[in-house]
Amino acid sequence: MSGHDCDITLTVNGERVTERVDARQTLVDFLRDDLILTGSHVGCEHGVCGACTVRVDGVLVRGCLMLAAQCDGAHVETIEGVSDLGEIADLQAAFEKRNALQCGFCTPGMLLTAQELLARGGVPSRETIREQISGNYCRCTGYQAIVDAIESVAQTRAGAKR
Amino acid sequence: MKIVEDSPPILTALDRPNSYIGRSVPRPNLARLMQGRAQYVSDVVLPRMAHVAFVRSPHAHAAIDSIDVSAAKQAPGVIAVVTGAELAKVITPWVGVLTHLKGLKSAPQNALAIDRACWAGEAVCAVVARSRAEAEDACERVLVDYRELPAVTDPETALDPGTPVIHPSIGDNLCFERVHSAGDPDKGFAEADAVVETTFLFGRHTGVTNEPRAIVADWNPGDARLTVYQGTQAPHMMQNLFAKHLGLEEQQIRVVTKDVGGSFGIKVHTYADEMATVALAKLLKRPVKFVADRIESFVTDIHARDHRVTAKIGVKNDGTITAWEIDDLTGIGPYSVYPRTSGIEANQVVNLTGGPYTCGNYRARARVVFQNKNVMCQYRAVGHPIATAVTEGLIELAAAKIGMDPLAIRRRNLIADDAHPSQGPSGIKFEALSNHAALAHLDSMMNYAGLRAEQAQLRKQGIYRGIGFASFVEVTNPSAAFYGVGGARISAQDGATVRLDSTGAIYCHTGVSEQGQGAEAVIAQCVATSFGVSMDRVRIVMGDTDNTPYGGGTWASRAAGIGGEAAWQAGKALRQNVLAVAGSILQAKPETMDIRNGVVVDHDSGKERIGLDEVARICYFRPDTLPAGVQAELIATRHYVPRAWAFAFTNGIQASYLEVNTDSGFVKLLKHWCVEDCGTVINPQLVDEQVRGGVVQGIGAALFEQCLYDERGQMLNGNMADYLVPMAVEMPDIEVGHVVTPTADSELGAKGAGEAGTAGAPGCVMNAINDALRPMGAAPLTDMPFTPDKILRALGKV
Ligand code: FES
Ligand code: FES
């Protein structure tokens, strides 16, 4: 039931935001419905599909499993903000080149999840890449193109391109 | 026919200067999807928009004696609470039948159940509120007085005299039956040296599009128009249905489809809750939004494939197939889905079994029965995965029985590549197939002999690997024979309109829609090539019934083959128009010129004559300088529909290499191959990715996916934690090869490619598992999905 409101102040994509939220509202619903940042998607509402993936204080979280009220004082980054900073421009270019997205619904979560692995440096094996994204459901691609794209970026970033 | 390697480009006779046909150009406009700036229907927000949530029946079958909405109406944020009887004043019921599926019957279905709910999940009452959360809260305050009725759940007993009839008005629980006989099956079986008979079971499963179904309906009484934002594959079809059932003219309806988070056949049907949403918008005179949550998706998105097929094959010792026989039974829920019906999948099983093989002695029966479960209807590759698994399963079981190599038995029986046109066992007509060339290509691509040696070696070490195959044919580019002849207002033709803008760039408006498969890119490639500009000078307009030529949309692998041809022809027509006016400007004969890379050139020398920007400038801003009587026509429209063949059949073959852990029952997929022939390949990368995505969807059917129901009709695993889908870590790399046999029905020669992967993968994986387990004496597994417990049972370990 509704009726338990909380006031929260947080930073979203570098912008300070103060809002009153329903205590039960999830982070992803807050981002989508209140801030109209619709790049984070809702696929399962269950913590399984990864479509709602965002970063909170630098850590990947499932926006459907975290409440907005828990984010008071936090730094939240969504696909919109991460894109604008250019942090994953090479990864996005690789996804485009390799057609690693079809409908694109999984893509924001997939990109952020891939970037977490890539940020660790080195060139992970294909198995490691597959494991990294194994919590991100994609119905369209069959995953191979996504693995290829991530692998190619790892190689380029490591300066070890074949 | 020519064999081409996986790597681009795949060039054909259509190659011309700055051609994009056969080239892996990236899809335009992916940036917005990657930056989180797409617009899926679930993202749409309109002024005064309200949200609807539905009270859904918890019972598989129940009479609704009363509904008390008084408490719900008082709940915070509630705008309206509407029952089925009230909504029926705004929207009429529908019946999902087609006249060419003779005898197919169904009962009227309402947007909200009235008096009776026929499956667990059927909407019985709508609550509209300021927010979805408030609407859901208020749903809990709706008091429905249900009286449980006996639920019909088992298709095997659905037709028994003692089983209750779900819709007494139509007499019995039989939706559709088809019986087919060709050649002399009795003689064929009598002549066989070996007969294999078994029963194949296919788990009921569903599409699980990553974005659930979503719709925003906006009735503006001032305009007397309804604008519907809908994630649909067929905008014009929906325009017609909304008009028909709301009592409006088609002109009063605009269907807009922007980004769609996956469809796969899920989003090409009429859903009661979506019909209720448009009716509520009309009733309340404001925008209403409905987005299915995941649980609603599982109990209302169409399911598919719940078939039991008893099947038999006869073979001679030399491998010649002498006869086929199948008996298919499928339960499709309480209603045949509107407007495509739920008879098509069983009909396709009858059509496609026996696939591309020469043996014409074939007997088939298919029965489609009603039951109190969620509805079933067409999902990616409709019927193909079933018919292919049955055919290819029988062939490999027969090969094992007579001790023949699985590829050798196929070589003996596949219709020769030079014997086309031909027909399959059921009488389906093939213009031109390349099954032998595809098989030969696959054989070398996968190094079959080497894999067999490796398999034998590893078996000595107690490692059980299997190799399985599935040859297939696939229905693509459907003509009016699919739906139109049966009375459905579903367009088989598609159109494209191309216009030159004032800077020399072009717009192409097309009736096909983008679902992520790359239709926008393919249409742009076709029109850029045939008109003569680079792709960055092309803007595609799609998914809007106010602004696109009338068309069928995107289903049955038709967008590239049909929509692409229309765009190709429209681009050519505009080229003629532009050359005509350029000829007037230059005092040259139009036929001596061409358009290349945005410039009018001399056809023979390639010498540049005038830029398109200059042609456009003169025509739009200084037409006074054109010779008297010259009127530039800078827009052209062409339509296309296949006429010579009812369907453009594609073909191919898949192979799976896997390892079965005989202690745990787990299957590890090591590698998958697919060689397919979709005619002219417009964009090799997009074709390959369609194949890969399709294969993985088929693997899901083979190993993981099943909508589990109890005997009372309750779905037990309707969430993504319990319903397993393929995830990255379990999936193999998939190698794709091509053979190219263009259809002569169109100038482009392109056939469809969207469903081949899903068609072949389940049977192929099944055969590989059985190949792995055969030396252990396991009974063949024919009951999908092949979960670890079934494998251990086959091995006698549990
Ligand atoms: S919506 Fe959060 S994991 Fe699926
Ligand atoms: S691209 Fe559609 S779900 Fe991944």
Give percent above pLDDT 70 in chain A. 96
Distances (CA, A) of B380 to A111, B209, B267, B377, B690: 27, 11, 11, 10, 11
- Whether A119 and A52 share a structural domain: no
Domain boundary among A29, A53, A82: A82
Please list the ranges in chain B whose pLDDT falls under 50.
1, 3-8
CATH no. for residue A36?
3.10.20.30
Q: Which of residues 546-605 of B touch A (CB under 8 A)?
A: none
* Closest ligand to the CA of A49: 1
- Whether A32 and A66 share a structural domain: yes
- Whether A78 and A11 share a structural domain: yes
Which pair of tokens denotes residue B472?
């297939």
Tens of pLDDT along B74-92?
999 999 999 999 999 999 9
- Whether B761 and B648 share a structural domain: yes
* Ligand 2, atom 2: closest residue by C-alpha: A103
Which residues form the domain of A65?
A: 5-82
pLDDT (0 to 100) of residue B453: 98
pLDDT (0 to 100) of residue B9: 58
pLDDT (0 to 100) of residue B556: 85
pLDDT (0 to 100) of residue B10: 62
Instruction: Provide the number of structural domains found in chain A.
Output: 2
Which pair of tokens denotes residue B522?
């393919």
- Whether B133 and B59 share a structural domain: yes
CATH no. for residue B58?
3.90.1170.50
pLDDT (0 to 100) of residue B1: 46
Tell whether B19 is covered by a domain: no
CB atoms within 10 A of CB B17: 12
Strand partners, B467: B657
Question: From the CA of B260, how many Å to the nearest CA of chain A?
Answer: 6
CB pair distance less than 8 Å for B208 and A131: no
Which residues form the domain of B587?
A: 493-640
pLDDT (0 to 100) of residue A162: 46
Instruction: Provide the number of structural domains found in chain B.
Output: 3
pLDDT (0 to 100) of residue B13: 57
Tell whether B783 is covered by a domain: yes
H or E, element range at A95? helix A89-98
| Cα A40 to middle of ligand 1, angstroms | 10
Contacts of residue B31, defined as CB under 8 A and 6 or more positions apart, other chains included, come to: A92, A96, B37
- Whether B115 and B60 share a structural domain: yes
Distance of CA A156 to the CA centre of its chain: 22
Contacts of B518 in chain A (CB under 8 A): 99, 102
pTM of the model: 0.97
Tell me whether strands B734-740 and B667-677 are parallel, antiparallel or unpaired: parallel
Distances (CA, A) of A136 to A106, B141, B726: 7, 36, 10
| Cα B382 to middle of ligand 2, angstroms | 21
Give me the interface pTM, i.e. the ipTM. 0.97
CATH no. for residue A120?
1.10.150.120
Tens of pLDDT along B234-281?
999 999 999 999 999 999 999 999 999 999 999 999 999 999 999 999
**φ, ψ of residue B96 in degrees (nearest 5):** -90, 80
Q: Where does residue B562 rank: exposed (0-12), middle (13-18), buried (19+ CB within 10 A)?
A: buried
- Whether B505 and B611 share a structural domain: yes
- Whether A99 and A153 share a structural domain: yes
pLDDT (0 to 100) of residue B497: 98
Give percent above pLDDT 90 in chain A. 95
- Whether B287 and B375 share a structural domain: no
| Cα A136 to middle of ligand 2, angstroms | 10
Name the residue type at position A125. S
CATH no. for residue B628?
3.30.365.10
Hey, is B153 helix, strand or coil? coil
Q: Where does residue B620 rank: exposed (0-12), middle (13-18), buried (19+ CB within 10 A)?
A: middle
Compute the mean pLDDT over every residue in chain A, rounded to the nearest whole number. Answer: 96
- Whether A100 and A155 share a structural domain: yes
Measured N-to-C along each axis, helices B272-284 and B235-246 cross at an angle, to the nearest 10 degrees, of 60
Q: How far apart are CA B407 and CA B448, in angstroms?
A: 10
pLDDT (0 to 100) of residue B6: 43
Q: What is the CA radius of gyration of chain A?
A: 16
